[in-house]
């Protein structure tokens, strides 16, 4: 297993999770920070015998990993995944902010090199279920809005989870949001994804939170998920690591593995 972004908040969490699993071995780590330091020690898990490298091509060549896990920034992830896929190393990607064109680029790359990759905007199992429940509710309500709340360091807004939630709601069989567009263009209303407005909150003290609020005649329904620590993402990351090599092409969304 090779972790790209190993010195970041999510990268350190992934390193700890991998080191705790008996069927996984950390063989490589890449980051632009803490170069030369032991990845396990940086993650707070004790020495792992793997030094953080500044070069992904060098790390791929030296460690020959079965899977590459990337939790870097959107401006870095495309280059990272391109490098790994060309080396025929399957990828698990948790970087946020990837647009439709980016995903099309990754899909073409996976097909060209016959190497799979999984991209998920959220690896928390509860968040995936929250999105599925919202898609079910979209068959029964005419109005809904999404509020997503994240830590102040999150770069993209709206979050990938919020965008995917709105898209799943619109695509659901029998959805009342299918094909509709919002006619409310006021800036204070947030961004509209189809007929659904998304509001983004960025504050210290938050990790990752989202609620979908449906409104109907004399009632509301709120579906909410809270990640109170980054440990919440690790069961999904480990599931993706174990399954990605059996996939074909690019797969978007952890729900495809559940």
DSSP classification of residue 249: S
| Catalytic (active site) residue 150 | yes
The catalytic residue among 113, 154, 225, 256 is 154
Q: Please give the structure tokens belonging to residue 117.
A: 């990759």
DSSP calls for 203-246:
-TT--EEEEEEEEETTEEEEEEEEE-SGGGGHHHHHHHHHHGGG
The catalytic residue among 150, 197, 209, 225 is 150
Q: What does the alpha-carbon distance between residue 26 and residue 177 come to, in Å, rounded to a whole number?
A: 44
Q: What does the alpha-carbon distance between residue 244 and residue 246 come to, in Å, rounded to a whole number?
A: 5
Instruction: Indicate the burial class of 56 (C-beta count within 10 angstroms; 0-12, 13-18, 19 or more).
Output: buried
Q: What does the alpha-carbon distance between residue 48 and residue 26 come to, in Å, rounded to a whole number?
A: 8
Q: Residues with catalytic annotation?
A: 150, 154
């Amino acid at each position: 297993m090779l972790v790209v972004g190993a010195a970041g908040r999510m990268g350190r969490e992934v390193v700890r999770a991998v080191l705790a699993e008996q069927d996984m071995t950390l063989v490589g780590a890449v980051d632009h920070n803490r170069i030369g330091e032991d990845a396990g020690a940086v993650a707070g898990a004790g020495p792992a015998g793997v030094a953080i490298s500044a070069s992904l091509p060098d790390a791929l060549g030296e460690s020959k990993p079965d899977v590459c896990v990337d939790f870097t920034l959107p401006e870095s992830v495309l280059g990272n995944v391109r490098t790994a896929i060309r080396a025929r190393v399957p990828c698990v990607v948790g970087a946020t902010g990837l647009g439709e064109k980016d995903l099309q680029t990754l899909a073409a790359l996976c097909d060209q090199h016959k190497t799979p990759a999984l991209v998920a905007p959220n690896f928390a199992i509860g968040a995936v279920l929250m999105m599925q429940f919202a898609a079910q509710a979209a068959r029964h309500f005419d109005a809904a809005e999404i509020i997503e709340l994240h830590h102040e360091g999150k770069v993209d807004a709206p979050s990938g989870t919020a965008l995917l939630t709105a898209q799943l709601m619109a695509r659901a069989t029998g959805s009342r949001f299918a094909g509709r567009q919002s006619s409310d263009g006021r800036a204070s209303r947030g961004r509209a994804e189809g007929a659904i407005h998304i509001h983004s909150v960025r504050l210290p003290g938050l990790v990752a939170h989202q609620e979908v609020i449906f409104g109907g005649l004399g009632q509301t329904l709120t579906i909410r998920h809270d990640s109170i620590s980054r440990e919440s993402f690790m069961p999904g990351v480990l599931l993706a690591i174990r399954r990605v090599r059996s996939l074909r092409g690019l797969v978007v969304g952890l729900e495809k593995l559940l």
